[in-house]
Amino acid sequence: MKQKHRLFLWLSPFLILALYWVGIYLSLKSPMEEINYSENGGFMRYVMFKPFTETIGSDRIWKEDEGFQIYPYSKGIVGGDERLSVLMFRDSTDWTFRYEVDLDKDVTVGFGFTYDSKNKIFRQTGLFFSRKGTTYKDQQLLDQLATYGKDRTWLKKQSKKVAEQYILGTWFKNGSSRYS
């Protein structure tokens, strides 16, 4: 009987750690929560996940004297004429992703995605078209896009591609053990 108690006492820290891990794992209800935890979570994040910044090909580390950091996605993830980066603020779990694609020399289309961790919402924001320093929005944006053979359908496809393939897809491929 005494030997069983010793064995239980010896194994109890591992059991507690395992239960703690399961509790965190079950509390992460979406891929965005998992992504956010991989970068901002407690010590268990190192056991559970690769840091998000590593999954996007960034070798930069957080600078302690900075209030925010911008981490670009590697060229191996996005195409040559595309740029995607994530903006993270110190002491905040709300993130902003910014995507831009060059349609021609000095012609760029871009938009963003934000993750509101309090309300657990991931949404697209801020669509723009820029040509030679002039920015267009709304109907003017669509008119300008038409000169390059692009329309609302193209914008929807690009948005879906960025969200599903670049942001979430990269996480599923390089970081998540649950969703991959």
Tell me how far apart the alpha carbons of residues 34 and 48 are, in angstroms, rounded to a whole number.
10
Per residue in 16-52, pLDDT (tens digit) is 666 655 655 665 677 778 877 777 666 566 556 778 8
Tell me how far apart the alpha carbons of residues 62 and 84 are, in angstroms, rounded to a whole number.
18
127 within some domain: yes
Whether 21 contacts 48, CB under 8 Å: yes
Give percent above pLDDT 70 in the chain: 77
Per residue in 59-98, pLDDT (tens digit) is 776 666 677 888 999 988 998 899 999 998 877 778 899 9
Q: Output the CA torsion 15→17→18→23 (10° steps).
A: 120
Domain count, the chain: 1
148 within some domain: yes
pTM for the full predicted model = 0.80
97 within some domain: yes
146 within some domain: yes
